[in-house]
């Protein structure tokens, strides 16, 4: 496998390609928030033993969830499904204050795996609400992240998912409006909605730095840089992964065929017909093992030239929550006592 650091978009000429190529995009796959969340569940299982309850999917990837379930994690949709007094982990997407309070009432031992970048949005929502702003939350209503953020200030928050929905917004004071965004949106989609909000509410304010996370942005930029030079883009990710779906949309918006696949079983061989160059990436919750399975599958179908294309470096790391750090520190002492 060769590696190329991309400083400019891939250029294509009129000369027919002599071999079938696979462009393996980098960065791809797990972001820092997902690495942290998955590590939290694994460490909790190793430290406290099974079962460990997890509210909702720890990250939106079926392979990851199934793997952790086999190790002893029990995934539930509601806090009421967790036996009183047991240990529960909040997913990377965050939870509302109501969920936190209900966990306290039921005496649950909570480990919070909320991505720090999602926590940032929660903090911003509370700040704007306390300052008397009407809040517009840009995102997908049925997404777990939106559910949690909306819960921070439900009385003053409205969710919009499209430019068309902006026109219907009604607020008490058009001069006191703020906006926030889901962290896994399409950059282009968010830009258009934000512009529509600015047109409707000229004095609207937003976060000091964008809410769309670095990993979501980096993976979309990578697709934009290679899509025009590829005949097909494959995105490894589960159907309920927002950021994975956005990668497919980015490619299709550039008129390059793209498909979301959970694993190699989802690949339709007819997609490969007439394709000389395939670009492969993965959403922020998709593990590298699935990517490598697809690489091997494509090699077996004639794409023997594999070129890893690095669009930008990515070296973000997040620390573990105090509940896990304290448990790790206490583990050797408990072992010595025994």
Instruction: Give the whole-angstrom CA distance, residue 285 versus residue 296.
Output: 20
For residue 51, say if its preceding peptide bond is cis, omega within 30 degrees of 0.
Answer: yes
Mean pLDDT of 43-67: 97
Band (pLDDT 50/70/90 cuts) for residue 323 is: confident
Average pLDDT, the chain: 93
Instruction: Give the whole-angstrom CA distance, residue 31 versus residue 297.
Output: 24
Choose the catalytic residue: 57, 124, 145, 189. 145
What's the confidence (pLDDT) of residue 197? 98
**Strand 177-181 with 157-160, pairing:** unpaired
Instruction: Give the whole-angstrom CA distance, residue 17 versus residue 33.
Output: 39
Per-residue burial over 296-309, b if 16 or more Cβ lie within 10 Å, else e, is ebbeeeebebbebb
Q: Centre a 10 Å sphere on the Cβ of residue 313 and count the other Cβ atoms it contains.
A: 9
**Strand 52-55 with 73-76, pairing:** parallel
Left (φ > 0), alpha (ψ -120 to 50) or beta: where does 20 sit?
A: beta
pLDDT in tens, 262-300: 999 999 999 999 999 999 999 999 999 999 999 999 999
What's the confidence (pLDDT) of residue 333? 57
7 pLDDT more than 50:
no
Band (pLDDT 50/70/90 cuts) for residue 19 is: confident
337 pLDDT more than 70:
no
**Higher per-residue pLDDT: 210 or 19:** 210
Report helix angle 62-70 to 32-48, nearest 10: 10
Strand order in the sheet with 52-55: 73-76, 52-55, 87-90, 109-112
What's the confidence (pLDDT) of residue 1? 55
Q: pTM value? A: 0.91
**307 is known as an active-site residue:** no
């Amino acid at each position: 496998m060769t590696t190329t650091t991309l400083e400019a978009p891939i250029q294509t000429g009129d000369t027919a390609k002599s071999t079938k190529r696979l462009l393996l995009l980098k960065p791809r796959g797990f972001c820092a928030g997902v690495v942290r969340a998955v590590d939290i569940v694994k460490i909790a299982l190793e430290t406290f033993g099974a079962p460990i309850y997890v509210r909702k999917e720890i990250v939106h990837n079926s392979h990851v969830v199934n793997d952790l379930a086999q190790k002893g994690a029990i995934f539930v949709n509601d806090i009421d499904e967790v036996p009183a007094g047991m240990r529960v982990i909040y997913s990377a997407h965050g939870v509302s204050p109501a969920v936190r309070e209900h966990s306290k009432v039921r005496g649950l031992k909570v480990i919070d795996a909320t991505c720090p970048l999602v926590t940032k949005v929660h903090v911003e929502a509370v700040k704007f609400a306390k300052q008397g702003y009407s809040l517009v939350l840009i995102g997908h209503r049925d997404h777990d992240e939106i559910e949690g953020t909306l819960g921070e200030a439900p009385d003053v928050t409205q969710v919009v998912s499209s430019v068309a929905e902006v026109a219907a917004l009604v607020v008490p004071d058009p001069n006191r409006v703020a906006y926030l965004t889901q962290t896994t949106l399409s950059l282009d989609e968010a830009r258009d909605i934000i512009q529509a909000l600015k047109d409707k509410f000229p004095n609207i304010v937003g976060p000091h730095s964008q809410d769309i996370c670095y990993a979501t942005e980096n993976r979309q930029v990578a697709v934009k840089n290679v899509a025009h030079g590829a005949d097909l883009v494959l995105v490894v990710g589960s159907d309920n992964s927002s950021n994975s779906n956005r990668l497919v949309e980015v490619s299709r918006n550039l008129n390059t065929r793209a498909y979301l696949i959970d694993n190699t079983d989802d690949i339709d061989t007819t997609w490969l017909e007439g394709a000389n160059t395939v670009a492969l990436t993965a959403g922020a919750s998709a593990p590298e093992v699935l990517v490598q399975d697809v690489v091997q599958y494509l090699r077996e179908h004639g794409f023997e030239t594999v070129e890893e294309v690095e669009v930008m470096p990515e070296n973000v790391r997040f620390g573990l929550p105090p509940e896990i750090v304290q448990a790790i520190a206490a583990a050797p002492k408990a072992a010595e006592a025994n």
